[in-house]
Amino acid sequence: MMYQFNREEYEKRMEWYQEARFGMFIHWGIYAIPARGEWVRSPEEMPEEEYMTYFKEFDPVDYDPKKWARAAKEAGMKYAVLTAKHHDGFCLFDSKLTDYKSTNTRSGRDLVREYLEAFRAEGLKVGLYYSLLDWHHPDYPHYEDQYHPMRNNPEEGNEDRDFNRYLDYLHGQVRELCTDYGRLDIMWFDFSYGEGEKCMRGETWRAHELVSMIRELQPGIIIDNRLEVSGEGFGSMWEGDPKPWHGDFVSPEQIIPPNGLLDKNGGDLVWEACVTMNNNWGYCALDTNFKPAGMLIKKLVECVSKGGNLLLNVGPDANGNIPDQSLEILEGIGRWMKKNGESIYGCGKSGMEKPDTGRITRKGNTLYYHLFENTIGAMPLQGLSKEQVKSVRWVHSGAEVKIAKGWVYDNYPDVVFADLGPDPVLPDPVDTVIKVELK
Ligand code: GLC
């Protein structure tokens, strides 16, 4: 049966995902050996033969996805997405349709299967990333494609290439993933591009047929919006007129939308910001520009306060280890999440203005004031009147926060002030959360 959009089913399948708010993106492949990011072949216009040396060498002896899953879980993440195939075409699973796969490397292992088992065992939802581009398949356009490593090589003309044969391969591999690997929660395609004659979007991928197959094999699965767009553009959900291959969520990349995201008519849109920890997706040996845990905690809060998810990336190395810096960052986030997770999970926009001192997330009748900095004197709970407030509590301890009284505050009778005590340093210097129960 061909898939058609249905609002009710849509809202149902998006429930867990909007509760979850925080996931792990994992970019991993043989590009971890050159260690210059997952795109390496394209900017360097590296020929296939040269790249094959990495295929022959790949042997991630330390690969233990249980460790990855534990790190994700401990950080407070609720789901993960692993690159089953990236643009280089290398498959981390035992596809019958290609030899270019992990089971044919020295490791001999089906890396996807082991990942899925390990993450499910930790109670995490599991997703797979699958690249629409393929720089290994002979039927994918080479010469004059926008990104192919051989785009400038006229000897790599496209006369004998049969794009439909590539699409059969793509559809076939997605069928394998949706059939042989148990329940999948997310399919993350990447990406559509080009205009006019070179348009590689939507039905170029035989997207209606593809999505119909996926939804039949994996009812309830969530699919991203990159069968239509990339990080650039929003897709037909934004248009308010979902195409049958519409994305279930918008996928802003390396940005948190300044005002969150609404559709063209002002309706709510589901979105997920995907963000790197340093400046690369795939492992990059020389990129040590990691974002501190404290910053990433605030960015997660920002996403939730704007009604979105954060998919935070790690790029394991060629031996199969998540870099130490990333693990430390995850631990830092996890320490905060253990105390303050209730202000993230199941929370969303507050409908209130952003206060001077931080942000607000909301779940039903509970407002979470995230305090990134202190005030002089008691903390104004901006946007609230005394009549609305039932109780105020520190989230990390559950202790009561008193409403401040006295002449200092009498000049501002319309404002509720929370008395955070005599210490000018907040209990958590990154983000201290107090929750306000409304009547
Ligand atoms: C991109 C890149 C890529 C990365 C992805 C993550 O569009 O091509 O390498 O996997 O974004 O969102």
Q: How far is the CA of 190 from the centre of ligand 1 (A)?
A: 7
Question: Kindly report the CA angle at 396 between 393 and 401, in degrees rounded to 5?
Answer: 25
Q: Is 258 exposed, middle or buried (0-12, 13-18, 19+ CB in 10 A)?
A: exposed
Instruction: Tell me the CATH class for 358-438.
Output: mainly beta
Tell me the mean pLDDT per 10 residues along the chain, length 439. 96 98 98 98 98 98 98 99 98 98 97 98 98 98 98 96 98 98 98 95 98 98 98 94 96 97 95 98 98 98 98 98 98 98 98 96 98 95 93 97 96 95 95 97
Token reading at 305? 């306060």
Residues 437 and 439: their CA atoms lie apart, in Å, by 7
Residues 143 and 336: their CA atoms lie apart, in Å, by 50
pLDDT digits (tens, 9 = 90+) for 143-174: 999 999 999 999 999 999 999 999 999 999 99
Of 115, 154, 157, whose CA–CA distance to 316 is shortest? 115
Residues 6+ apart with CB under 8 A from 199: none
Domain at 7-343: CATH architecture = Alpha-Beta Barrel (3.20)
Mutate-to-test residue for ligand 1 from 131, 190, 200, 232, highest number of ligand atoms within 8 A of CB: 190
391's enclosing H/E stretch is: strand 389-394
With a 6 A CB cut-off, is 248 part of the ligand 1 pocket? no
Of 35, 281, 261, whose CA–CA distance to 44 is shortest? 35
With a 6 A CB cut-off, is 158 part of the ligand 1 pocket? no
With a 6 A CB cut-off, is 145 part of the ligand 1 pocket? no
Q: Are strands 125-131 and 186-190 parallel, antiparallel or unpaired?
A: parallel
First-to-last alpha carbon distance for the chain, in angstroms, is: 48
Q: Are strands 309-314 and 125-131 parallel, antiparallel or unpaired?
A: unpaired
Residues 386 and 418: their CA atoms lie apart, in Å, by 11
pLDDT at site 382: 87
With a 6 A CB cut-off, is 253 part of the ligand 1 pocket? yes
Residues 160 and 157: their CA atoms lie apart, in Å, by 8
- Atom index in ligand 1 nearest the CA of residue 133 equals 8
Q: How far is the CA of 254 from the centre of ligand 1 (A)?
A: 10
pLDDT digits (tens, 9 = 90+) for 326-369: 999 999 999 999 999 999 999 999 999 999 999 999 999 999 99
Residue nearest (by alpha carbon) to ligand 1 atom 10: 281
Residues 304 and 302: their CA atoms lie apart, in Å, by 6
Q: What residue ranges do the domains of the chain occupy?
A: 7-343, 358-438
